[in-house]
Amino acid sequence: MDEIHYLEYEGRKIPYRIELADRYRRLSVIMGEDGNLVIRAPRRAGIAMIHGTARKNAAQFAEIYDRGRRSLSDPEAEGMRKTVTGEDGVERVLLGFECVDGASLPYGGRNISLHVMMQPGFKKPCITAKDGALYVELPAENEEQEQKLLESGIVPALVEAWYKKQAERVLPGLAAKEAEHMGVTFGRVTIRNQKTRWGSCSADGNLNFNVRIMLMPSYVVRYVVIHELCHRKHMDHSPEFWSMVETYDPDYREAVRFLNEKATYYRLR
C-alpha cells in the first residue's frame, strides 16, 4: 500500500505507509528508503488495528522517524540524495546515483562516466562500455521523444542491467577463489536486485548476491562473498560463524560498518 498516512505527535505529522505481506509474522516499523516510516504487518492484520497501534506507540514511532531522517542526512552522501515533494504534498527522499548524462558512477574502486545520447534510426535503446565510460544510446528522433524515454526510466534500467552483467562475470570467479582458500564448496550463483539483503546462501549451497554490491568498494564485495561462503560451515550467525569470517577477512568490521551506514545510498535512480 503506497498511500501515505499521518501520525500526529506533539504538534507534528509523522508520515507512514503500510506494507502487508504473508511473510510478516508480527507488526514492526522501519524507516523507509523514501524518508517515511513503513509499518509492516501480516496480510491478515486489520488496517484499523494498525492505525491504532501507531497512535498508541506515537512516541516510539516518532523516535524511529527522527533517527531515520538523521541517517538520511549523511553529509558525505550529499550528491546521492534528493528531496522531492509529490503531487500528494508528501515529501520523499530519493537516494542513489542519478543516471543522467555526465554522471559519475562507482565501479571496481573507481568512477566511470555515463553518457546519454540520441541515436536517430536506432530500433531500441542500448548500452555499451568503452574506455572507462558507459554510453546509453536512445532511439529518439527529437528531444520530445528523448524526454519520453528518459521519463520512462529506461536509462537506470539499462545501467542496472550492465552492472548485473558485471556481477555475473565477476562474482562466480571471486566466490570460487575464496571458496578454494576456505575449503568449502558452493552451487549456483544468482544475481538479483533486492531491497535489503546483500547476499544469501541456501541449504543446498547456492549463493545469491544483490547486484547493488557492485556499486560498492571492492573490500565490501569481498566481505559479502566470504560472509555467504562461511554459511557453508555455519548456517547461522553464531560466535563460530563470526570467528570464521574474521579468519578469512580480518577487517570485516569495516565492511559491516559501511553496509550499516552507507549502503542505503548505493543504488541507481
Enumerate the domain spans of the chain: 5-92, 104-152, 163-265
Reported pTM: 0.75
Q: Residue 178 is placed in which grid cell?
A: 575464496
β-sheet bridge partners, residue 116: 136
167 backbone φψ class: left, alpha, beta (φ>0; ψ -120 to 50): alpha
Cα separation, 6 vs 62, in Å, equals 11
Q: Which amino acid is at 96?
A: G
DSSP designation for 10: T
Give pLDDT, residue 1.
52
Mean pLDDT of the chain: 88
Tell me which fold the domain 163-265 belongs to: Zincin-like (3.30.2010)
Which of 113-117, 231-235, 263-267 has the least mean pLDDT? 263-267
Mean pLDDT confidence for 170-198: 94
Give pLDDT, residue 206.
97
109 backbone φψ class: left, alpha, beta (φ>0; ψ -120 to 50): left
CA distances from 165 to 131, 187, 258 (A): 17, 19, 24
- Residue pLDDT, tens place only, 207-232: 999 999 999 999 999 999 999 999 99
Give pLDDT, residue 260.
82
Give percent helix, percent strand, percent coil of the chain, each to the nearest 5.
40, 25, 35
Q: How many CB atoms lie within 10 A of CB 246?
A: 14
Alpha-carbon torsion (40, 45, 49, 51), positive or negative: positive
Is the pLDDT score of 31 beyond 70? Answer: yes
The better pLDDT of the pair 168, 31 is held by 168
Q: What is the maximum alpha-carbon separation in the chain?
A: 61
Residue pair 198/256 in contact by the 8 Å Cβ criterion = no
Give pLDDT, residue 251.
95
Q: How many CB atoms lie within 10 A of CB 251?
A: 11
